[in-house]
Amino acid sequence: MTTFIQLHLLTAYPAANLNRDDTGAPKTVVLGGATRLRISSQSLKRAWRTSELFEQALAGNIGIRTGRIAREAAQILIDSGIDAKKAVEYVEKIASCFGKIKADKKAKDPLTNAETEQLVHISPAEFEAVKALAHRLAEEKRPATEEEAALLRHDRMAVDIAMFGRMLANKPDFNVEAACQVAHAFGVSETIVEDDFFTAVDDLRAASDDAGAGHLGETGFGSALFYTYICIDKDLLVKNLNGNEELANKTLRAFTEAALKVSPTGKQNSFASRAYASWALAEKGTDQPRSLAAAFYETINGTDQLNVAVKRITALRENMNAVYAQETAFKDFNVMNQQGSMKDMLDFICA
């Protein structure tokens, strides 16, 4: 049976704008009839995947998400003395291996036509294969053949591709089903998005010249205790990593620590809204996974939101276990009363 690892996190953010919509305001969601702050799944995953913590723990096993892989190959050809237009022709087969090629005949930069229209997630092994082929083409001054350009591979899979998946419309055999699902995080309280009106002062402007500010602006922000839910299919993760259980456990450990510690980067210089999870619950078992978001359909207001949130989510979990006759193993910690530890949780997840 499939082993699922589920993570439930409560993370408190003061004034913040971690994830903006198209107007620059914090993203929101209406839940239980109330507007809540929201952090998108994509924002969370990118913050964790590109974090220094994740990269240091899994160095050499992390992929690249780009539409410029063939452009990199073309640049190698150009650096060896081949004309830019020729270089783009030589790497055309490489580009088409990874996706639909841009066809902008008016592009000022000829290398634009070595890029793909979609971003593609590639492993370090695939990237090295592209560079090796580019050097060979540069030496032999010829375009890549169809066979040479078949650079996608299943072996030596990058951990982030194994976790978050890969979709290639023109090469479905190399699609990877994501082992990790991340819900949009949302605030447990009703939220009013506020506006911060700010000014910037021109240091070289004399007061006698103009008493006004050098720049005026405003930015939206809000504050909330966020609930985050993550579900990981451990068996699929091991399968995606070609049976390498040691690397799978290393990935789980680094990913969980990043989820507990790393915040999205939106407006960090303006708000310094960095936070660790104040409470976390990890569950491991073969039962069908489920979120505990229902604990927060009714908003939590007042000054004791964290304690109320913990009581609600704990009660809901116990009620679900009783009704559905489940006994899923778990490990939790609560920073506010020094109960449990991150190390114990990580050991539990990887055991």
- For the segment 61-103, what is each residue's pLDDT rounded down to a tens digit? 999 999 999 999 999 999 999 999 899 999 999 988 888 888 7
Q: Band of the pLDDT at 168, cuts 50, 70, 90?
A: confident
Question: Does residue 317 share a domain with residue 192?
Answer: yes
Question: Does residue 295 share a domain with residue 202?
Answer: yes
Q: Band of the pLDDT at 58, cuts 50, 70, 90?
A: very high
- For the segment 112-140, what is each residue's pLDDT rounded down to a tens digit? 888 988 888 999 999 999 999 999 999 99
Q: Band of the pLDDT at 211, cuts 50, 70, 90?
A: low
**Does 162 fall in a domain?**
no
**Does 173 fall in a domain?**
no
Question: Does residue 201 share a domain with residue 112?
Answer: no
**Does 171 fall in a domain?**
no
Question: Does residue 328 share a domain with residue 281?
Answer: yes
Question: Does residue 344 share a domain with residue 317?
Answer: yes
Question: Does residue 239 share a domain with residue 114?
Answer: no
Tokens at residue 62, please? 């992390």
- For the segment 249-276, what is each residue's pLDDT rounded down to a tens digit? 999 999 999 999 999 999 999 899 999 9
Given a cut of 70, is residue 147 above it in pLDDT? yes
DSSP-derived secondary structure for 197-261: EEEE--TTS-TTT--S-SEEEEEEEEEEEEEEEEEEEHHHHHHHTTT-HHHHHHHHHHHHHHHHH
Domain that holds residue 125: 65-157
Question: Does residue 53 share a domain with residue 182?
Answer: yes
Given a cut of 70, is residue 239 above it in pLDDT? yes
Domain count, the chain: 2
Question: Does residue 139 share a domain with residue 50?
Answer: no
**Whole-number mean pLDDT of the chain?**
92
* Cα distance between residue 59 and residue 52, in whole Å: 10
- For the segment 192-206, what is each residue's pLDDT rounded down to a tens digit? 888 888 777 777 776
- For the segment 323-338, what is each residue's pLDDT rounded down to a tens digit? 999 999 999 999 999 9
